[in-house]
Structures are given as structure tokens and as C-alpha cells.
Amino acid sequence: MSFIDEWKGIHLPANRLRLLLRHRVEGLFAGEHLSGRLHEGMEFEQFKAYQPGDDVTKIDWRAFLRSRKLWVRQSPFLSNTVVHCVLDVSASMLYEEAGRSKWAYAQLLAAALGYLALKQGEGLRVWGSMEAQLKGGVALYHLHALLHQLSRMRAGEKLPDLAETKVPATKGQHLWMFFTDLYDTPASWVALWKRLRALGHEVHCWHILGEQEINASWKGTLVFKDLESKRIKKVHIDSYRKLYLAKMEAFLEEARQSCLQTGVHYHRLRLQEPIHRVLWQALG
């Protein structure tokens, strides 16, 4: 495992996100064997040498500075797709194992998929789910703006009733990606997804959990703290493990079935999974 897959921290600043993208994600997307599709019909932009008469607004000036040659961005088709990345900012996303938090994992995954959207020339918006009216979705056009937006967001908020969230009026094709552990009122998430699906939007749920959290592989006496309500409960895991595993299994199956019945693409992730492997499986 590369050192870059051993990142730590509850929150990733913009410079750390950029480093992780450069070493693990950008190289992956540059490969020839990854389709690079967020969903059916989306492809990378391609480049051709500039010819007199080409649209000068599509000249890639960064490529010019590197090669001293003029290159024009071109796509195999014109797309009006908008990609929305919605991060769960509830307190439970601060849960961590071995120094790696759900929140930082969500930041990195949103950065990777947002970067892919930018590479494809798609519209991109990033939201924090604490905005009851989804007002915080700033249109982003550059990687720097994406990383800045993600690094300034914070988890630890109380979610509003997502079932009452007003979905913004939209045109064109829209791809919504939610990064969450589904602990805070999962029924509200599903209600929101149903409304998005009713509008014809494509929706993906990236369900982020820890290995120990799923398997209850802790030892000894544990102190469980509800990060939403702040309630504390002490238990000896050996006497509680069977009940815990039964509840976890029911929770995971309910999440999967809810997505299946709603027409939502469901991706279950573990904090220990390297980001590049997750991307290979989802986009390859």
C-alpha cells in the first residue's frame, strides 16, 4: 500500500486534498483502461492541435505553458449534465478509525469525482446538507475552487428535515451524489432521493462506514457516544456484540433495499478501502 493511502485526519485541508488527488487519483484517470464515466454517456474531453478558425475560448493555456503549443479542448458531444456532490455534515460523520474519519473520506471521494466531472467539462456544484433549502451549491469551474469549497465545509451540524428540503429548479441532465453514513434520519434521505428521481435525475448513495463499525471487532469495555444526541452508553462488547451485529445487518439491508426500490445507485464503502480501488470498481 502506498503511503498516500495511509492518510490520516478528521478533516482534509485543500493542500492535502490536492496532494492526494495528484498522487492517486489523477494518475488513475490518466490510464487507458478506465472508462472514466460517472454514468452512461459521459466521457473525458480530448485535445487537438489548434487550427485557424477554432474557438479560441477552448484553448488550454495550461497545456500551452507546458508545451509551448496551442491545444484546443474538444468533446465527442455537447453535454448539459450537471454533477451535484452533497456531503452529509451531521456529527456522526466525525467518527474515525485508526485516525481516518468518514468526513475526510467523503471530502476525498467528492474531490475525486468532482475532479472527474471538471475534466469532462460537466457542470459541478458541491453542497453541504445542513442547508435546509440547498442554497450553498456554488457553481465550480476549476480544481482550486473545488478543493477550497470542500476544505471550508465542516461536519458536526444537526441536519434539517431533508424531506422538506426544496430541490432547486433545474434544466438538463443532473447527477446527484450523496456521501453519507445514513445515521441521521435515513428515511428523510430516501424521501429527498424519491423527489429527485421523480424529476428524472440520476442519484448515487455513497454509504461510508468503518470496518470495526460494521463487524464490531472491538475488544473490552467500550463507551458508545451518540454523536448526534451526545448520549453515552458503556457496554462490554462481548455481551453486546450479537445484538449489535443483528442491528447493523438490518440497518445495512434496509439501506440497500431503500436505494434499490427508489432507483438509487448504492455504493457501500469502508474507511479502510483505498480511494483508487473504490474508483476502479465504480467507474471501471
Tell me the C-alpha distance between 179 and 96, whole Å: 15
168 and 229 both lie in a single domain: yes
48 and 105 both lie in a single domain: no
61 and 195 both lie in a single domain: no
- The three-state (H, E, C) secondary structure of 198-230, written as one string: HCCCEEEEEEEECHHHHHCCCCCEEEEECCCCC
267 and 194 both lie in a single domain: yes
Q: Is residue 84 within a helix (H) or strand (E), and if so which, with residue range?
A: strand 82-87
181 and 68 both lie in a single domain: no
From 23, 54, 78, the end of a domain falls on 78
Helix ranges, the chain (H): 14-20, 26-29, 61-67, 102-119, 143-152, 186-198, 211-215, 237-262, 275-283
pLDDT tens sequence across 168-225? 656 667 899 999 999 877 788 888 899 889 888 999 999 999 999 999 998 888 887 7
- How many CA atoms lie less than 13 Å away from 258 in the CB half-sphere? 19
70 and 160 both lie in a single domain: no
207 and 278 both lie in a single domain: yes
Counting the structural domains of the chain, the total is: 2
124 and 198 both lie in a single domain: yes
Q: Mean pLDDT, to the nearest integer, of 126-152?
A: 70
pLDDT at 267: 93
Find the range with the poorest average confidence among 97-111, 121-135, 140-154, 176-190.
121-135
Residue 224 and residue 156 in contact, taking contact as beta carbons nearer than 8 Å:
no
User: What's the domain range around 69?
Assistant: 43-78
Output the pTM of the full model: 0.77
181 and 199 both lie in a single domain: yes
Q: Mean pLDDT, to the nearest integer, of 222-243?
A: 81
72 and 83 both lie in a single domain: no
pLDDT at 256: 95
User: Domain holding 139: CATH number?
Assistant: 3.40.50.410
| 46-49/71-74 β-pairing | antiparallel
Tell me the C-alpha distance between 101 and 40, whole Å: 31
107 and 234 both lie in a single domain: yes
Q: Mean pLDDT, to the nearest integer, of 121-145?
A: 68
Find the range with the poorest average confidence among 39-48, 85-94, 107-116, 165-174.
39-48
pLDDT tens sequence across 9-18? 888 888 888 8
172 and 279 both lie in a single domain: yes
